[in-house]
Chain A
Amino acid sequence: MSFSFVREQMVEPAPAPVNTAGPIAWARRNLFATPSDSLLTILAIVLLVWAIPPIYGFVMPNFLGGDAVPPGGTVEQCRVETAGACWAYISARMTFFIYGFYPAEEYWRPNLVFALGTLLIIPLAIPRVPFKRTNAILFFVVYPVVCFYLLNGGVLGMPSVPTEQWGGLLVTLIISLVGIICSIPIGILLALGRQSKLPIIKTLCIMFIELWRAVPLITVLFMASVMLPLFMPQGTTVDKLLRALVGVTLFSSAYLAEVVRGGLQALPRGQYEAASSLGLSYWKSMWFIILPQALKHVIPGIVNSFIALFKDTSLVSIVGIFDLLNTVQAASSDIDWSSPTQAITGYLFAGMVFWVFCFAMSRYSIWMERRLDTGHKG
């Protein structure tokens, strides 16, 4: 049977049939593919129609069609029965939410801290910008010291502002940044210790890591608040914020140790062997060869730890420190702005701030992960 065939005329690409491409086809495939699919779509639409308009009306101000009171409004407007979110209350107390009890005439100091931080983080986060080592040293070593003196004062003629007056978003950022900055080196040492062949060091590191990972952060904060004064020599007082920082750092370093350990384990054995065959000592091979590669791999993991830490800073409100959540909570008993929607508006605001920070960081983490993956393909 003959089936030999040679094509004379090549077939040019034709557009896909109307019912398989374009918006109608898309809707058919993705929303109404099968009857049960269609049913789910209808139920989802019903649910959205029920839920979204009331939420929109509550959140959006008048000029966008909602019931909320825009920033700059009055408390009387908020007290009206049909009023939505009281954004006027937020805008009125905004400085409290950002700076806490920091004296208003010294706002330039926290503002400088914010500006410096942004200036240092952005080039650090973009992989293509050079001078990473200098950048890192500036950000991880110099910046915290500068911030401390700026905020605390007492030098260069700046009036002293005790930590009890720091509050709001400022404190949240301080705790999370200091937490992550201090816990990275500790976490690295712990991870190396856990990998070590020396039994005493290995056991101590494992015990330390497992202990802090097993207990809730709130117990760690309580512990830090209550027990730290007992551990210090008689007569010394430990600053309240410092206690929380110590607790958060210990807690976070245990989790970071596991993240770094994952990076160390993912490195091929060949790297370790190459380093030692070059005659490098343990610490030199770590510093020059192993750690740079391992840490680069776990940048997404470190960012994820930072996101978790950022969310966990809200717990310090339980030990009486005025982070963003606690300032919102405290302000909700402000009589001047009392209205039916005062509390919920405050929570919405805090929620949005946290969400914006955390979502942006998680997107960055995913982007870094993808970039690191493709850098190693093939």
Chain B
Amino acid sequence: MAVQDNIAGPPRTAFYNDPVIRGIIYQLVVAGLVIAFLTWIILNTAQNLAAQNKSTGFGFLFETSGFGISFTLIPFDRSSYYWQAFVVGLLNTLLVAVIGIIFATMLGFVLGVARLSSNWLIARCATVYVEVIRNIPLLLQLFFWYFAVLKAMPAVRESFELPLSIFVNQRGIIVPRPLPDFEIFWVAVTAVLALVAAIAMVVWATRVRTKTGHYPAVVSRASRIAGLIVTFGVGYLAISLLGTVVPALSLGPVFPLIGALVLAGISLSPYGRYGRVFIGFAIGWAVANFLLGGMFAGLGEGIIVLGAALVALGIAWTMLSADRRSAATEGKLPLALPVLIVIALPALVYWVTGASLAFEIPVLERFNFAGGLQLVPEMVALVLGLTIYTAAFIAENVRSGIQAVSKGQTEAASSLGLREGDRLRLVVVPQAMRVIIPPLTSQYLNLTKNSSLGAAIGYPELVNVFMGTTLNQTGKAIEVIAITMLVYLTLSLTTSAFMNWYNARVALVER
């Protein structure tokens, strides 16, 4: 090789074989083809539009719409402009997306964890859910919920009545409308501040625990008092509920009061856990009685009460053994205090300011309900369908995220003596979240895009209102489609940007 070194410089190839030149030629050719293609399309379009006497331009946005929309978050009527219709559609899309995301996340996480449960029955049920829902098109599921379920609801006069004055009929779900007065504003502010304060307190207490080895004395003592108050309150509730199952016990308000005081007192003694177990039993019995009565209406009342009692005994037994198995409560985060703060402070403000939150109860009048808030079946079906469908995919993401944390991690944490709660919080969940969050944001985006299927069942979201009605009426196909696609493009790019940022931030540092 050395002898053959080329003194004259690098070998000269024909310029069309030089890779750099070739690359430039390819790009110019491709660019040229693309431009030619686009030009051809634009010329055709111009011709076609001219032949149909249509103009282009975004001026139509300021013309009157002339149509009504069945469900709007902002005021809208026939005299509103098209750009307002756009806003209505966009808001409706976002509304359904946000509600759907919240519920789908909750359901999805529960299902994902259930699929990994050591309980064979629970794991199989979750698997059946996921495998059935994932393999049926969303549109079909929407049609099912809308046409087969909601439209099959009884007529207005024979509405199903649920507790808390909620009515279900063909026209949708009618709930009491909240009528807040002005002071409620203070209560709401207090609630938010209380939540922030509770979270800050938990964060601070954890930091002190890390630094000094135990929770701050203030928090521990206050928590014990909070525990007493919570036990009193929950005990009162439990005994009152017990009155619904065993009518003999509902002897006026004094009985629950005394019972609650007794329970609170017991909680201070070494036998405190029996008090808690009793509360669990009582509430469990009442709830089970209510649910079983609803599900198996045909069976005799005695059987239902008995069955509910068995379920309640099961709950009591669970609580008893859980208590025995857990290590000293000193190590645990004092939860009673933050919970109390979040509930009590707003309640205090509520009482002090004399605020009132009345509810307008829907009342059945001649042809329809008066008062109350009506949730149209289109929205209910869309939220239901989106939630159930997306939850199946979220469940799979959660499952693979948890499984991605190798067994060795839990083993190492266990062998160091970490208890299950700390193990999950400090080792498993942080690692699982890294794997879960990117596909999770993808699913959120999918849910938002899938909300466009609401157009098929008549829900007035963006595609329905803008790309459907507006486009039909104005004929401005290109402008309308361009705007709609731009909206979705923005949503998608924002989500991608977030995902990239998150991935970069939590990436495990490697060599």
Interface residues of A (CB under 8 A from B): 30-31, 33-46, 48, 50, 197-201, 204, 210-211, 213-216, 218-219, 222-223, 226-227, 229-234, 307, 311-312, 314-315, 317-318, 325, 329, 332, 340, 343-344, 347, 350-351, 354-355, 358-359, 362
Contacts and interface: CB of A to CB of B under 8 A. Distances in A.
Nearest to A350: B140
B139 A200 contact: no
Contact of A200 (B30, B49, B119, B131): B30
Contacts of B290: none
Interface residues of B, number: 65
With a 10 A CB-CB cut-off, give which of A42, A201, A211, A218 has the most chain B CB atoms.
A218
Contacts, number: 180
Nearest to A27: B120
Given A35-B321, A311-B138, A362-B135, A230 B44 contact: yes
B87 to A, nearest CB: 18
B73 interface: no
B266 interface: no
Contact of A40 (B30, B122, B322): B122
B44 A231 contact: yes
Interface string B438-474: 0000000000011011011000000100010001000
A191 B120 CA distance: 43
A204 B32 CA distance: 12
Interface string B118-159: 111110010000011011111110011001100010000000
B102 interface: no
Contacts of A229: 48
Contact of B119 (A31, A48, A199, A230): A31
B48 A215 contact: no
Nearest to B446: A216
Nearest to A36: B318
A223 B452 CA distance: 14
Nearest to B26: A198
Contact of A347 (B41, B122, B140, B318): B140
6 residue pairs, one from A and one from B, having the closest CB atoms: A214-B492, A358-B135, A30-B120, A35-B318, A216-B449, A311-B137
Contacts of A315: 139, 453
Contact of A351 (B117, B144, B292, B317): B144
Contact of A234 (B51, B135, B138): B51
Interface string B278-317: 0000000000000010011000000000000001001101
Interface of B: 23, 26-27, 30-31, 34, 41, 44-45, 47-49, 51, 117-122, 125, 131-132, 134-140, 143-144, 147-148, 152, 292, 295-296, 311, 314-315, 317-318, 320-322, 449-450, 452-453, 455-456, 463, 467, 471, 477-478, 481, 484-485, 488-489, 491-493, 496
B146 to A, nearest CB: 10
Nearest to A340: B152
A351 B141 CA distance: 8
B292 A314 contact: no
A35 B314 contact: yes
Nearest to A315: B139
With a 10 A CB-CB cut-off, give which of A197, A200, A332 has the most chain B CB atoms.
A200
B456 A201 contact: no
Given A219-B481, A317-B139, A36 B322 contact: yes
B489 A325 contact: no
Given A204-B34, A226-B477, A230-B45, A354 B318 contact: no
A41 B488 CA distance: 44
B345 to A, nearest CB: 32
B47 A234 contact: yes
B139 A222 contact: no
A194 B10 CA distance: 32
A316 to B, nearest CB: 10
A214 B136 CA distance: 22
B314 A230 contact: no
A318 B120 CA distance: 41
A204 B295 CA distance: 58
Given A48-B125, A222-B481, 14 more contacts: A35-B314, A35-B322, A46-B295, A211-B485, A215-B485, A216-B488, A219-B481, A222-B467, A223-B485, A227-B477, A230-B45, A307-B135, A347-B140, A351-B136
A354 B143 CA distance: 14
A216 B295 contact: no
A314 B27 contact: no
A215 B140 contact: no
B135 A355 contact: yes
